[in-house]
């Protein structure tokens, strides 16, 4: 099933896609796609979707999960991406946090922050936790997944690398975390380690990869992270990006106002973002 949230920012309602790709309102059945609801999405599988109210028009889409407590990112998780940035594959996953205030809808604009001249793109597979996970085994890890989503881990490279301190400040600006359009349940994702993914800037394909080249797969990442922190329903893990980011180009290439970014992952939908400057 494909779940989503629609409406103005801060006032989104839950919805589900019907067999014809139309939005059906779920707010008559549940408050929002968050918390313990995410652990029980399977219970909705047998419902009569066509009996739910049809959402008319073309509303804005928000992130397909609400109430995210942690937005955890994995760095240098594709060997070919590590190579293009001049880094080596880490012996353990590189973990950093992205502020949850960066989360926005899949088609909301990329906002270049004040003082930025190195804003970059990263198409990534996001994993949404559905069931509390603490010290879980790798074999059991995928049983804690509510679903998968597409995300753009937008990054300001000067803030991230050239300034002092941690990567978080280069990853957490407003509108640096587009998620969606859908939260796709695991039964529709046969293998999270075999998903083609791509990203275009102004119509030019710059990233063309697959989750098959991840260094650390989804199950291992959930297992690994759960050794250090409890993962709660609604937490998001962004699992890394394939090669083709602006930082890795010769010369490096970064986003500017007026650019158009489009990205997608097979089975998880597509995003489209205009690039604008912060007011």
23-36 residue pLDDT tens: 999 998 999 999 99
For the chain, the first-to-last Cα distance in angstroms comes to: 38
Q: Which residues contact 271 (CB under 8 A, 6 or more apart)?
A: 106, 107, 150, 152, 178, 180, 181, 261, 262, 263, 264
At 85 the pLDDT is 72
Does the CA dihedral 149-231-227-133 come out positive or negative? negative
At 82 the pLDDT is 72
Q: Which residues contact 51 (CB under 8 A, 6 or more apart)?
A: none
Q: Which residues contact 150 (CB under 8 A, 6 or more apart)?
A: 106, 123, 124, 125, 126, 179, 180, 181, 263, 264, 265, 268, 269, 270, 271
On the 0-12 / 13-18 / 19+ scale of CB atoms within 10 A, 220 is middle
* pLDDT band of 247, cuts 50, 70, 90: very high
At 106 the pLDDT is 98
CATH topology of domain 63-277: Fumarylacetoacetate hydrolase; domain 2 (3.90.850)
Q: How far is CA 242 from CA 175, 235, 245, in A?
A: 21, 22, 8
- pLDDT tens for 75-104 read 989 977 777 777 777 899 999 999 999 999
Interatomic CA distance for residues 261 and 198, integer angstroms? 11
- pLDDT tens for 156-203 read 999 998 888 788 999 999 999 999 999 999 999 999 999 999 999 999
**How much is the average pLDDT of 56-63?**
97
* pLDDT band of 144, cuts 50, 70, 90: very high
* pLDDT band of 44, cuts 50, 70, 90: confident
Interatomic CA distance for residues 223 and 239, integer angstroms? 13
Q: How far is CA 188 from CA 1, 69, 72, 135, 151, in A?
A: 7, 25, 23, 26, 18
Task: Look at residues 83, 70, 72 and name the one whose alpha carbon lies nearest to residue 215.
Answer: 83
**How much is the average pLDDT of 17-22?**
94
| Percent of the chain residues past pLDDT 90, beyond the cut | 87
pLDDT mean across residues, the chain: 95
Asked whether the beta carbons of 106 and 223 are under 8 A apart, the reply is no
Asked whether the beta carbons of 242 and 80 are under 8 A apart, the reply is yes
Q: What is the reported pTM?
A: 0.96
Q: Which residues contact 249 (CB under 8 A, 6 or more apart)?
A: 206
At 81 the pLDDT is 72
At 175 the pLDDT is 98
Lowest mean pLDDT, pick from 40-54, 113-127, 222-236: 40-54
| Residue boundaries of the structural domains of the chain | 63-277
Name the token pair of 130. Answer: 């559905």
* pLDDT band of 46, cuts 50, 70, 90: confident
Interatomic CA distance for residues 140 and 5, integer angstroms? 29
Task: Look at residues 153, 95, 133, 139 and name the one whose alpha carbon lies nearest to residue 235.
Answer: 133
At 47 the pLDDT is 86
Residue of higher predicted confidence among 43 and 64: 64
Interatomic CA distance for residues 41 and 126, integer angstroms? 17
């Amino acid at each position: 099933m494909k779940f989503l949230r629609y409406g103005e920012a801060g006032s989104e309602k839950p919805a589900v896609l019907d067999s014809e790709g139309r939005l059906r309102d779920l707010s008559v059945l549940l408050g929002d796609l968050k918390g313990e609801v995410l652990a029980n999405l399977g219970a909705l599988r047998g419902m009569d979707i066509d009996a739910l109210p049809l959402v008319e028009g073309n509303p804005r889409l928000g992130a397909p999960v609400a109430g995210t407590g942690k937005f955890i990112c994995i760095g240098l998780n594709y060997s070919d991406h590590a190579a293009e940035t001049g880094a080596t594959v880490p012996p353990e996953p590189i973990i950093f946090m992205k502020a949850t205030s960066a989360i926005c809808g899949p088609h909301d604009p990329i906002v270049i922050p004040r003082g930025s001249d190195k804003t970059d793109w990263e198409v990534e597979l996001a994993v949404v936790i559905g069931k509390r996970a603490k010290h879980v085994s790798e074999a059991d890890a995928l049983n804690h997944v509510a679903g998968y989503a597409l995300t753009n881990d937008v990054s300001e490279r000067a803030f991230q690398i050239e300034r002092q301190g941690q990567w978080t400040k280069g990853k957490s600006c407003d509108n640096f975390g587009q998620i969606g359009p859908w939260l796709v349940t695991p039964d529709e994702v046969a293998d999270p380690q075999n998903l083609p993914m791509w990203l275009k800037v102004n119509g030019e394909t710059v990233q063309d990869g697959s989750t098959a080249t991840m260094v650390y797969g989804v199950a291992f990442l959930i297992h690994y992270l759960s050794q250090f922190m409890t993962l709660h329903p609604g937490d998001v893990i962004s699992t890394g990006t394939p090669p083709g980011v602006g930082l890795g180009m010769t010369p490096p290439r970064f986003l500017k106002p007026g650019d158009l970014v489009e990205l997608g992952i097979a089975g998880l939908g597509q995003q489209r973002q205009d690039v604008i400057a912060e007011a």
